[in-house]
Amino acid sequence: MKYPVHHPYSLAAEDVVLQLQTHINNGITQNEANKRVKTYGLNIYKAQKQKNLWWVMLMQFKSPIVYLLIFGAGVSLYFKDILETIAIMVVIVINALIGFFMEVQARSSMNALKEMDVMMANVIRDGKTRSVPSQELVPGDLVPLEAGNMIPADGRLVTVNRLQCDESSLTGESLPADKNIDPVADDTVVGDQKNMVFKGTSVINGNGKMIITGTAAQTQLGTITSLVESSADTVTPLDKKLNKLSRKLIWITLGMTAIFAITGFLQGKSLLMIIETSIALAVAAIPEGLPIVATVALSYGMLLMAKRNAIVKKLSAVETLGSTGVILTDKTGTLTENKIFADTFAFPTESVKVEIEDGVLKFTEGKIEQSTENFDKLLLTGVLCNNAVVNANEKNKDKPGFAGDPVEVALIQIAMAAGIDTAALTKKYVRVAEMPFNSEMMMMGTLHQTPDGYFAAAKGSVERLLEKCSSKQLGALVVDMDDVSKKEILLKSEEMAASGLRVLAFAYQWGKSIDPKNFMSGLTYVGMAGFLDPPRTDIKAAILNCRNAGIKVVMITGDHPQTALNIARKVGLIEEDNKNVITGKELPEVDTLTKEWRQRILDTAVFARASPKQKLEIADVFQENGSIVAMTGDGVNDAPALKKADVGIAMGIRGTQVAKETASIILKDDSFTSIAEAVAHGREIFQNIQKFVVYLVSCNLSEIFIVTILGVVTPAATLLPLQILFLNMVTDIFPALALGLGSGDDTVMKRPPRDPAKNIITNKKWMVIALYSTAMTTAVILAVIYCKEVLHTDDRVCNNVAFITLTFAQLFHVFNMSSNGSGIFKNEITSNKFVWIALLVCGGLTAMVFAIPAMRVVLGLSVISGKLWLMAIMISMLPLIIIQYYKAIQKKKIDNTN
């Protein structure tokens, strides 16, 4: 399929509109959009082909363990042991099937996770702006563009207002591209097509509208993407740590194998026995279910986090979350409700408090006596210098819907409550120019044409807007603005901000001829509005949880310092008497920071009037101090900081698409509480991973020790390769999976952050693993010695007793994975329903292999007496008793120390 319009950049905007049979203001109809979806297809790339299920199955045989087993089967076949050969091959297939189903389940979980993060786009159809999934966009659609938007498809610009786009991902050009609507030559390269915007790039300033000319594979990005047939799998830090662990186990096994082979050779043992036992050692060494269980645990944990309002886009973020030591958070909408309403109006001569009751404006404190003109001008300015959208409510026409910035919505609502017809007002005052809000300038302005002349409306931070004002409104009079007046206004704004209000100043300019390129000077100040955004009710507990977890929470906001301090005190971020705040104006450049300044930044919890650039620099200071930093953001200017942070967290409701694409986590409810819960869950997930890794490694090490010791002492009684494989598939994978799906203990947020540089198994954990493995090995050796020396049973019965003892010792061992501070009978393991299911399944499978004659023959088992079964199970409980006794002693020591 080709582009609907050939080289749209070389055509006039009107010609593109004509060829695509659309409308420059109303777009296409919804019915036409439905038809074009059938013609052009969905606006999505062909999903990267997932591996064919047969290929997934085949890949299960691609591992060192399988190669060793196939070698063992070949050896058995060479020595004409057909049954052994068949049994090994059956085990290979069973092992592959388990891996296959685990991988399919993990893939299914990841696909479900991806479906939760659907990119939405605004589009104008039938003359109305609506939000639709970006995949439903079609050629001819009219799409409005605002700063922070991710471009959802290729398009020809038809209107622009200071529009700039970041096209570095497409062209490699680091500077933003200025856009216009003028046609260019037919042979113009992509980087110079100033009248086009491209899928995957972003709007960083201004606004405009585009007509979609290409979707999916027919975009510039789609053309590049189609050249890439496949992409390499990403190796996460967790994968690297697991691989490092596997290599360590292999070296341990090689050492044990060498000891056994040399000893066996000197003892004159048969070559077949030496080879089979060596294979058994190799089988025992490799926890083949480890990567599978890790993937399932991560994907399951990520899905649970998504249900708790945190969509995790990168696997590595889960591990990093558990190490987070500093959270840099926004104020508005994250610590507060983001439900803005006008509370106070302050004019040069008087102030009033207001509220909306049943859709009518009420004055709750004070009344307007001298400032009627100021109030009218402020409401007029607030309505005109505004991009909020009022949508008709089909169910209740008396209660229209609103979309846009919460402050701008509040201005529209207060004007409507005052009896102003906002729709009629915007028709009368036709907007002809706009200076979009800029986080550096902290102002917004619009220019409007009326039958009587031009009207310029402006709003923004009090400090910045006063710099543009040369006069002020005093009722019906306009007088010059002097420095004394400015100081009085600033003092009043600080008083309002100190009471927790977000303060904006309003100004205007009226004239017969105003320069559209310079209408933000010589303004007349009319007054201020204070907006209230109350703290979220659940924030205090979340911040307290973070403190208990050793996590420093830092607020970085563009608001007034007093507003920031007021909210920080209300949410418990700082103490009531704490006045420590750093403003963006006083913060030095990062390359000039002294040691004292760096320490001051590290000791501060509130930053106000900070720019996005300074947010990035603050993160740098904390990272250079060795902290793992999680950072929230919602705007296009936050993208660099989100990328710089160890964990970037974007707001799902008010966040721009650029922020969402850059971040590794998206909050569906924009709440700080969800961040705290995500950190807690990230810690739980890593704790679960650590538990099942310790469990698997200790079980496998005990098998290595048992095979080596019995191979030297009583070779005929040692565990067989098939028996070890059965143990690994039953007593390893199922309990390990259960540990990976656990909810974690309730102490995860009462400990300091984990050091990310440490391995999954620390030196201390290796000592614990050695203790676990030694205890299980000792129990099995004791059972064999008792059978051989006391009961005088043959080697086959000794082997069976060793098999039963180790099976149940490993099953009981799962209860040793509880936290040291937990009780013996009531902890996160005993309360994990998956553990009990795993134990029932494993116990049933063990009984089944003894009950079915064919299985007994394959695994080298036989029918043994109930007394031997009871003896083996009793001895298998010894490691659990020993370890729990050891833990009780350690806990008592800790309690006595405290």
- φ/ψ of 285, rounded to 5, equals -75, -35
Instruction: With beta carbons less than 8 A apart as the criterion, state whether 202 and 150 touch.
Output: yes
d(CA 122, CA 132): 6
Buried b (16+ CB within 10 A) or exposed e, 573-583: bbeeeeeebbe
Buried b (16+ CB within 10 A) or exposed e, 336-375: bbbebbbbbbbbbebbbebbbeeeebeeeeeebeebebbb
Rounded (10°) CA dihedral 782, 787, 792, 793: -140
Which residue, 528, 527, 524, 463, is CA-closest to 502? 528
d(CA 551, CA 752): 7
Q: Which of 154, 166, 330, 634 is catalytic?
A: 330
**Assigned token pair, 676:** 């705290």
Map 75-109 to HEC letters.
Answer: HHHHCCCHHHHHHHHHHHHHHHHHHHHHHHHHHHH
Sign, CA dihedral 691-696-698-699, equals positive
Q: 523: Cβ–Cβ under 8 A, 6 or more apart, which residues?
A: 456, 458, 465, 468, 469, 470, 471, 507, 508, 509
Q: 428: Cβ–Cβ under 8 A, 6 or more apart, which residues?
A: 450
Q: How many separate helices (H) and strands (E) can be counted in the chain?
A: 31, 27
Instruction: With beta carbons less than 8 A apart as the criterion, state whether 182 and 163 touch.
Output: no
d(CA 839, CA 816): 14
d(CA 191, CA 150): 18
Instruction: With beta carbons less than 8 A apart as the criterion, state whether 739 and 695 touch.
Output: yes
Amino acid at site 274: I
Task: Sort 189 into a burial class: Cβ within 10 Å, 0-12 / 13-18 / 19+.
Answer: exposed
**Assigned token pair, 550:** 């050793």
- φ/ψ of 694, rounded to 5, equals -60, -40
d(CA 288, CA 140): 54
Three-state SS for 575?
A: coil
- φ/ψ of 186, rounded to 5, equals -65, -30
Pairing of strands 582-583, 501-511: unpaired
Specify whether the backbone of 291 is left (phi greater than 0), alpha (psi in -120 to 50) or beta: alpha
Half-sphere exposure of 27 (CA within 13 A, CB side): 26
Q: Is 330 a catalytic residue?
A: yes
d(CA 841, CA 897): 42
Amino acid at site 17: V
Instruction: With beta carbons less than 8 A apart as the criterion, state whether 458 and 444 touch.
Output: yes
Pairing of strands 469-474, 523-532: parallel
- Positions annotated as catalytic residues are 330
